[in-house]
Structure 1
Amino acid sequence: MECLILGAGAGTRLMPLTDRLPKPLLPLGPTTILGRLVGQVASLGPDRVLCNLHHHAAAAEAYLASVEHALPVLTRREERLRGPAGSMLTFQDELAAADTVLVVSGDLYLGDGALGELVRRHEESGSELTVLAVEVDDGSRFGVFRLDDRGRPTALEEKPAWAAGRRSWISGGAYCLRPELLKRVPNDRIHDFGADLIPELLAERADVTLAPWLGRWDDLGTIESYRRAVLDELVSGTPGGGDAHYVAPTARVHPSARLTGRVHVADRAVVEAGVRLHDTVVLPGATVPAHTTVADGCVA
């Protein structure tokens, strides 16, 4: 198996958090979003992880060269963005030689076991493509599956208005596929899983399987969803209260600063005198000025 983690996106919905960092390199506990995903992939047995880069590619390359992960990470710059499915062509030779291809969005926060369940369901079904499917309360921001009376997918619609406020099964941003599907991906335009490849296969009545996942899942595409995931990683705290703090070894927190609730202070961050932080994330290299109060926020 080869695994591609998608790391080229600009993370526009997360700005200004992504002004200096690519989204997969945002901190998540003592590691990053990417590092956590690599650790989850490692349990599935591949020898390495592939990762395409574009936004702040140099920063990502420098970070990956300096930090050891659970698996070696082979990176390659995608000079011209080709969309999530099109990104597979960046590693076309490596993926074409695999028995199974696992593609994971680089902004997912998954409970342990989600990717293993996806791979297991794919191997059992023998399908051309298996999609991690999650159920949400409002499907209007996602790609929503239409299902037949046996629960099999018949269509996938991107951000449909009819799914607003409606509990829906959506594409969860992780895919397991046969490498032969690479031949369907065009090289001259953006090609997406949700907008292009999956609907095309379903329209042709190709064998597409869903791997339902009922555990933790979050798309870290907004500042609030990212902050929630970082604070949830502080497992000794609870959403309803209790203090749990992570201060990176290279961060500096003034002795007079007060940290309450769940607080994450990342590498090279500075928290000056008299600061009060509550349920807050301080990103790498950020400074919280003296006598500032931040509650339920992110500081970049």
Structure 2
Amino acid sequence: MSEISKAFILGAGLGSRLRPLTDTLPKPLVPLFHEPLASHTMRHCLEAGIECFAINTHHIPAAWQQTYPESSFEGAPITFFHEPILLETGGGIKNIAPFIGDDPVLVYNGDILTDLDLTQLMAAHRGSGNVATLALFSEGPNCNVAVEDHQVVDLRHAHGIHPGTHQFTGIYIIEPEILPLIPANEKISIVPAFLELAALGKLGAYIADGASWHDLGTREEYFAAHQHLQDSGKATLPAIHPQAKIDPSAELDEYTIIGPNCVIEKNVKLRKTIAWPRATISENSNLYGCIVREQAAGEHQDQDL
């Protein structure tokens, strides 16, 4: 099997569960510790040897070009594949067939933050002879993937073999041999193709226990991901960005995140609050558990402003 140097970031979802944060941005571009979640994802991939990216778009596609105007990230080229009509995971993979070519590809859901060992996942896949290998956890809220002897034998109890033993992480590796199993020009999940591979004994399992993992599909997980980066020391930037303008009279607790070019005016009190880049918080404001996208004034708790 070839070395894995390509990654496909699934970025076309609507982000409905995270509204209103996704009203103006696709979910993978929502700021996480001052930079888009997608940048965290791509940096994770680059550290494992990925050299180029494909990203599918649908919701507010122009935001991707604005965020990565040179269609690259830290020197790695990005090819965008726009989906006027959402194709789901299987259709999205079929749509990037020209990018896949004859090479294996790392597929990475665009709404998760994890430190899962991608290098070990790649090594497990490379020596397996499988057409796809799924990264899984032994425990989780939705253990619907059945594993026997490092192979996935059933998903969602579709084959009637087992209701499930493991949680899917949203990260996997595919070989180009999966493409004939996905119908062209169709909105379809990748799961039917996985089920065919499972029946053929060609769907591998890599157990990623011990890795941190956050699905940023909810407001609670969005806050939890920030706290994880802060507590673990894995944030690449300080919680209070050096380019933020903060009046000396403002009071900020340790779990408040202030992005670049934010303006925090006089006598502001912030607790467990996240201010996106360029946000303004007016004087005498008192915020707890809030996310400030553009501007805030007054007293608020657990609100998105």
TM above 0.5, yes or no, is yes
Matches within 5 A, 1:133-148: 133-139=136-142, 144-148=144-148
1:118 aligns with 2:118: no
Q: Which residue does the alignment assign to 1:84? A: 89
Matches within 5 A, 1:204-283: 204-214=199-209, 215-235=211-231, 246-283=239-276
Q: 1:109 and 1:49 mapped to 2: Cα distance? A: 17
Q: 2:196 and 2:282 mapped to 1: Cα distance? A: 52
Deviation at 1:156, TM superposition (A): 1.0
Could you tell me whether the CA contact under 8 Å between 1:22 and 1:56 is conserved in 2? yes
Q: Which amino acid aligns with 1:69?
A: E
1:191 aligns with 2:160: no
1:69 to 69, 74, 82: 74
Q: Which amino acid aligns with 1:156?
A: L
Q: 1:20 and 1:64 mapped to 2: Cα distance? A: 16
Deviation at 1:55, TM superposition (A): 1.1
Higher helix share: 1
1:36 aligns with 2:40: yes
Could you tell me whether the CA contact under 8 Å between 2:87 and 2:188 is conserved in 1? yes
Q: 1:153 and 1:175 mapped to 2: Cα distance? A: 12
Q: 2:34 and 2:216 mapped to 1: Cα distance? A: 17
Greater Cα offset, 166-175 or 33-42: 166-175
Deviation at 1:70, TM superposition (A): 5.4
Deviation at 1:137, TM superposition (A): 4.0
Q: 2:286 and 2:238 mapped to 1: Cα distance? A: 16
Change in CA separation of 1:192 and 1:250 when aligned onto 2, cut-off 3 Å: farther
Q: Which residue does the alignment assign to 1:93? A: 98
SS of residue in 1 equivalent to 2:43: helix
Q: Percent identity?
A: 26
Query: Unmatched 5+ residue regions in structure 2?
Result: 158-162, 294-305
1:10 aligns with 2:38: no
Q: Which amino acid aligns with 2:257?
A: H
Change in CA separation of 1:15 and 1:279 when aligned onto 2, cut-off 3 Å: same
Deviation at 1:229, TM superposition (A): 1.0
Greater Cα offset, 214-223 or 267-276: 267-276
Q: Which residue does the alignment assign to 1:25? A: 29
Could you tell me whether the CA contact under 8 Å between 1:136 and 1:167 is conserved in 2? no
Q: 2:233 and 2:289 mapped to 1: Cα distance? A: 15
Q: 1:128 and 1:167 mapped to 2: Cα distance? A: 21
Deviation at 1:236, TM superposition (A): 7.1
Change in CA separation of 1:136 and 1:280 when aligned onto 2, cut-off 3 Å: farther
Q: Which segments of structure 1 move beyond 6 Å, counting only runs of 4 or more?
A: none
Could you tell me whether the CA contact under 8 Å between 1:82 and 1:187 is conserved in 2? no
Deviation at 1:205, TM superposition (A): 3.3
Aligned pair count reads 281
SS of residue in 2 equivalent to 1:262: coil
Change in CA separation of 1:41 and 1:237 when aligned onto 2, cut-off 3 Å: closer
Q: Which residue does the alignment assign to 2:133? A: 130
Change in CA separation of 1:218 and 1:81 when aligned onto 2, cut-off 3 Å: same
Could you tell me whether the CA contact under 8 Å between 2:153 and 2:203 is conserved in 1? no
Change in CA separation of 1:237 and 1:220 when aligned onto 2, cut-off 3 Å: same
Q: Which amino acid aligns with 1:185?
A: I
Deviation at 1:44, TM superposition (A): 2.8
SS of residue in 1 equivalent to 2:127: helix
Change in CA separation of 1:252 and 1:115 when aligned onto 2, cut-off 3 Å: same
Deviation at 1:68, TM superposition (A): 4.7
Deviation at 1:7, TM superposition (A): 1.1
Query: Unmatched 5+ residue regions in structure 1?
Result: 159-165, 239-243
Q: Which residue does the alignment assign to 1:155? A: 154
Q: 1:273 and 1:168 mapped to 2: Cα distance? A: 54
- Give TM-score, length-normalised by structure 2: 0.82
Q: 1:155 and 1:167 mapped to 2: Cα distance? A: 7
- Give TM-score, length-normalised by structure 1: 0.83
Q: Which amino acid aligns with 1:78?
A: E
